[in-house]
Structures are given as structure tokens and as C-alpha cells.
Structure 1
Amino acid sequence: MIPFLIFAIVLSQGKGAFLLAGYNTMSDSEKEKYNEKALAKFMGKVMYGYCFCLLLWGLNELFETEWLFIVGFILFIGLTIFALVYANTGNRFKK
């Protein structure tokens, strides 16, 4: 969880977009079309969500309750679907 949290902190400051898969493989002319800071901040928020899911999974192991794992898993799947749809529709991160 700690690496995810560090990555989330860096991204939420609008930095570290070069670490995002897909963005770092674009050509420079293609990167100029995107708002790098907004994309990084959005992905930082997504990473905070993933950290929360990992926290729930850790608490599941600690307290030996199945429902914490299920809630974390549902949140993980829901967050992933939301992030994919939100980031890839509506040209939200284009300049």
C-alpha cells in the first residue's frame, strides 16, 4: 500500500505523468494535446481509491472478516471501470 500511496501523492500534485502507462509512450506532439497536470491529478485520486481498497483488504486479514474483502473488491472493480470510462470519454484531458 505504501508505494501506491507515494505514487498517489506525487500524481495528486500534478507531477509524475511520465510514469503513467500510455501517456509516456506518446510522441511529444501527441503529449502537447493533453493537459498533463489535470490527467496526473485525476490518476492521483484514482490511486488514493486503490489505496483505500488495499487498506480494506489488509483489515480483512487483520480482523478475519470476509465482508471487508468483498467491499474492497467491489470498490476496486467499480473504481477501475469508472476511471476507464471517465478518462476515455468526453475528451476531458485534452487542451
Structure 2
Amino acid sequence: MVVMMFVIGLFIVLGILLINCKGSFLIAGYNTMPPEEKEKYDIVALCKFMGIMMFSLSFSMLFWLLSEAYEISWLFSFGLVLFLGIVVFMLIYINTGNRFKK
């Protein structure tokens, strides 16, 4: 339970960093691009989206914590489905439509 609270807290801190556009170096793929390639992307929109996704993932993990605290097994299943749904949505949204290109 303590580990889960630490992970949720870490995700919230990362979400705050990303919402404030201070954590662009944490976005995988973006940090390894050459500078001329980075100029093609709207880093503010990308960071804000990733920050919101970090908050969403931490919210879904909260169901795991509640499941353990109150011993309600369906809460864990609900949180897991929500977590996986957010990850799938995030992957599809980021990789289609050139949404974050300038």
C-alpha cells in the first residue's frame, strides 16, 4: 500500500512538472530528437497533454489503492481497465493526426 501511494505521488509530481512545461526532457522520444527536429513540435501542447495523462493515470491507480484498503476486488479490476484504456487512448491520440506538430 505504501509503494502504491509513492507511485501515485510520483505520477502527480510528474504531472505537475509536465503541466508547467518543465519536464519536456522526461518525454520519451522527444528528448532524443535532434534540435532541428524538436522545433517541428508544439512542446507546450505536448507537455500539457502528457501532464493531464499523468493525472489520469494516477486517478486510475487510486482505485487500486482503495481496492486494497477496503478489500473490494472489483475496484481493482475497474482501475486496471481504466488504466489500460487511458494508455491505449494516449498511444492512439499521440501517434495519429500530427496533433502536436507546429
TM-score tier after normalising by the smaller chain length: over 0.9
* Secondary structure of 1:90 counterpart: coil
Runs of 4+ in 1 over 2 A off after TM superposition: none
Which of 18, 22, 26 pairs up with 2:29?
22
Match of 2:53 in 1: 46
The number of aligned residues is 95
Q: Which runs of 5+ in 2 are unaligned?
A: 1-7
Shift of 1:15: 2.4
Q: Which amino acid aligns with 2:96?
A: T
- State the TM-score, normalizing by the size of structure 1: 0.96
Match of 1:7 in 2: 14
Q: Which amino acid aligns with 1:60?
A: S
Q: Which runs of 5+ in 1 are unaligned?
A: none
Q: Which amino acid aligns with 1:59?
A: L
Which of 78, 95, 102 pairs up with 1:88?
95
Note if 1:33 corresponds to 2:40. yes
Shift of 1:31: 0.5
Task: Tell me how far apart the structure 1 counterparts of residues 95 and 22 of structure 2 sit (CA, whole Å).
Answer: 20
Match of 1:59 in 2: 66
What is the root-mean-square deviation of aligned Cα atoms in Å?
0.7
Q: Which amino acid aligns with 2:54?
A: M
- State the TM-score, normalizing by the size of structure 2: 0.90
Shift of 1:14: 2.4
